[in-house]
Amino acid sequence: NAGVTQTPKFRILKIGQSMTLQCAQDMNHNYMYWYRQDPGMGLKLIYYSVGAGITDKGEVPNGYNVSRSTTEDFPLRLELAAPSQTSVYFCASRDIAGKETQYFGPGTRLLVL
Amino acid sequence: GENVEQHPSTLSVQEGDSAVIKCTYSDSASNYFPWYKQELGKGPQLIIDIRSNVGEKKDQRIAVTLNKTAKHFSLHITETQPEDSAVYFCAASRNNAGNMLTFGGGTRLMVKP
């Protein structure tokens, strides 16, 4: 199993550009999450999904959108990138309710200039 | 919502010494408390977790204690080794729709050989 994979590893965006951060998991996990981690800070939840077709907002959803058309994939879309979105983005997945362990991907470092 | 505070933000110990990291949480309904280790350039990895019906849990050199009354929990690492150097995050969650984790701000642990 590859676990949770994320692409790209690093990206530079200009202000106002858009991009999609890709996340995939091969563990057949129902739950998936997107976090951002600003320098020297903890992780903050952006969006999460409890299954294909179901998504909901986390703590910091503004400026982002997600979709979950399959169990495996959970892309994060940035529209009109702003410098405040410069961060490291982590995707995570978790099995069914009752199994709380979240498994994290390696992260995508995003720089908005 | 839940608020998790973590102390200290940095901790330097000599190899072989013990290290203790403390977290407090605000939501008395939180019932799951994991600890994650994040090495440079990687995603967080679960090292130990504890549920609210347990006061202490140990796994080799790592232990976690939970005081529900005081709403705080701690990570204890004994006989520290240079490879324990990393950033450690505590988190808390409750049984809600997505079992969302709220993370502390992180502790950078440095183990000096």
**Arithmetic mean of pLDDT over chain A:** 94
- Residue identified by tokens 């701690």 is B74
Closest to B93 measured CA to CA, from B39, B47, B35, B41: B35
**Region of A83 on the Ramachandran plot (φ > 0 left; ψ -120 to 50 alpha; else beta):** alpha
Which of B45, B49, B103 lies closest to A43 in CB terms? B103
- pLDDT of B69: 94
- Residues B57-69: what's their mean pLDDT? 96
CB contact under 8 A, A56 and B98: yes
**Region of B71 on the Ramachandran plot (φ > 0 left; ψ -120 to 50 alpha; else beta):** left
Give residue B1's pLDDT band: very low, low, confident or very high (50, 70, 90). confident
Strands A10-13 and A108-112: parallel
Give residue B103's pLDDT band: very low, low, confident or very high (50, 70, 90). very high
Which of A42, A56, A102 lies closest to B97 in CB terms? A56
Which of A42, A50, A105 lies closest to B98 in CB terms? A50
Contact B54, B32 (CB under 8 A): no
CB contact under 8 A, A42 and B100: no
Summarised one tens digit per residue, pLDDT across range A16-71 is 999 999 999 999 999 999 999 998 888 999 999 999 999 999 999 999 999 999 99
Summarised one tens digit per residue, pLDDT across range A73-93 is 999 999 899 999 999 999 999
Give residue A12's pLDDT band: very low, low, confident or very high (50, 70, 90). very high
Nearest CA in chain A to B89: A42
CB contact under 8 A, B45 and A58: no
Whether the predicted pLDDT of B98 surpasses 80 = no
Whole-Å CA distances, B49 to A9, A100, B32, B73: 29, 9, 7, 11
Give residue B97's pLDDT band: very low, low, confident or very high (50, 70, 90). low
Q: Partners of A57 in the beta sheet?
A: A47
- pLDDT of A97: 66
Size of interface A-B (CB pairs under 8 A): 64
Whether the predicted pLDDT of A100 surpasses 90 = no
Contact B34, B91 (CB under 8 A): yes
CB contact under 8 A, A45 and B100: yes
Which of A48, A59, A106 lies closest to B42 in CB terms? A106
Alpha carbons A85 and A51: distance in angstroms, whole number: 26
Contact A113, A14 (CB under 8 A): yes
CB contact under 8 A, A31 and B100: no
Whole-Å CA distances, A45 to A61, A90, B9, B53, B54: 8, 9, 21, 26, 27
> Where in B2-101 does DSSP place strands (E)?
4-7, 10-14, 19-25, 32-38, 45-51, 56-59, 62-67, 72-77, 86-92
- Residues B45-65: what's their mean pLDDT? 94
Alpha carbons B91 and A36: distance in angstroms, whole number: 15
CB contact under 8 A, B89 and A50: no
